[in-house]
Amino acid sequence: MSKSIGSIRIQEADFSVDNEYQNLRAAHASQNGAICTFVGLVRDFGDKKGVTGMYLEHYPGMTEHSLQQIIDQAASRWQLHNVSIIHRVGQLNLSEQIVFVGVSSAHRADAFASCEFIMDYLKADAPFWKKECNDQGSEWVEAKQSDQDRAQKWSKD
Amino acid sequence: MKILFFASLRERLNTEEEQWQDLNGAQTAGDILTQLQTRGEPWSSSLNTERLLVSVNQEIASLTTEVTLNDELAFFPPVTGG
C-alpha cells in the first residue's frame, strides 16, 4: 500500500479558492499538467424555496476517516499528485462557500474525473448533515436517492 | 460503550451521547438498537426507521455487526453533506 495523499480540513472558517489552488500548484510543480477544483455554495432553494442559510453538523473523526478513504479510492483509480478537501461546518449564510475539492494531476482527464468522483462519494458517504433555514424556521435536509445513484454509477464504469 | 446520535435523530432524542458500562447481553449493533427502542417514546418511533444508519468505531456497519464494551457506536440519518 502506497502512502496516502491528500489534505482534509473540516472547519467553520471560510476558505480562499486562490490559496488552495496555489498550494496545489506549488506541490509537484513541475509535474502538474492539470488542476481541477470544485466549490459547493449555499443556494436559495433546497428541499424548499426561500432558503436563507444552513447549519452543518458532522461526526468528528469518522468524517476525516471517510474522506481519506474516498481520496485513497480516487488515488488508486487515477494518477493524482495531490488532493485537497475542505468542508465547512456550523452556520452558513446564503451564497457562502460550503465545500472545496481540488485535485492535481499530470493529465486533465484524471483531474476532471477524480474531482467529480470525490464530490459524488463525499455527498453519498461522508457523515455531514445539513439543516436548511428559511423564514419559517429550519428543517433537516432529506437525503436524495439521486446522490446515491451518482456515486453508484462509478462502480459500474 | 459510547453511543452517539447525530442530526435529526440527536434532536428528536434530545441526546447527543451516552456511556454504557454494561451491554445487558447485547452482542450486535442490532441488539443495542433493540434495547434503545424498548425505552418508549421518543426512542421507539425515532429509531424504528429503515433509513437509520449505524457505524461501529467510525466505520459504516450493519445491525448484525458484533460489538463489545470498548466500541463506539453511532446512529444517524442518511448523510446530506457537500
pTM of the predicted protein model: 0.95
* Closest-approach residue (CA) in chain B for A88: B82
Q: Is residue A81 part of a domain?
A: yes
Q: Is residue A156 part of a domain?
A: no
Q: Is residue B22 part of a domain?
A: yes
Comparing CB atoms, the residue among A57, A62, A130 nearest residue B55 is A62
Q: Is residue A130 part of a domain?
A: yes
- Closest by Cα among A56, A40, A58 to A127: A58
Q: Is residue A146 part of a domain?
A: yes
A47: pLDDT strictly greater than 90 = no
Q: Is residue B81 part of a domain?
A: no
Q: Is residue B39 part of a domain?
A: yes
CB-based contact B58 A98, cutoff 8 Å: no
A2: pLDDT strictly greater than 80 = no
pLDDT in tens, chain B (82 residues): 999 999 999 999 999 999 999 999 999 999 999 999 999 999 999 998 788 999 999 999 999 999 999 999 999 999 999 9
Q: Is residue A155 part of a domain?
A: no
Q: How far is B44 from chain A (nearest CA, A)?
A: 20
Number of domains in chain A: 1
- Which residues of chain A does B13 touch, with a Cβ-Cβ cutoff of 8 Å? none
Q: How far is A91 from chain B (nearest CA, A)?
A: 13
Does ipTM come in above 0.90? Answer: yes
Number of domains in chain B: 1
Nine-digit cell at B15?
Answer: 441526546
- Closest by Cα among A117, A129, A123, A126 to A153: A117
Q: Is residue B72 part of a domain?
A: no
Domain range spanning residue A140? 7-150
Q: Is residue B69 part of a domain?
A: no
Q: What is the DSSP string of B20-58?
A: -S--TT--BHHHHHHHHHTT-TTHHHHT--TT-EEEETT
A1: pLDDT strictly greater than 90 = no
Q: Is residue B57 part of a domain?
A: yes
Domain range spanning residue B10? 2-61
Q: How far is A5 from chain B (nearest CA, A)?
A: 20
Q: What pLDDT, in 10s, does the model give residues A120-142?
A: 999 999 999 999 999 999 999 99
Q: Is residue A38 part of a domain?
A: yes
CB-based contact B79 A129, cutoff 8 Å: yes
CB-based contact A126 B81, cutoff 8 Å: yes
Kindly report the CATH number assigned to the domain that includes residue A130. Answer: 3.90.1170.40
CB-based contact B82 A58, cutoff 8 Å: no
Q: Is residue B8 part of a domain?
A: yes
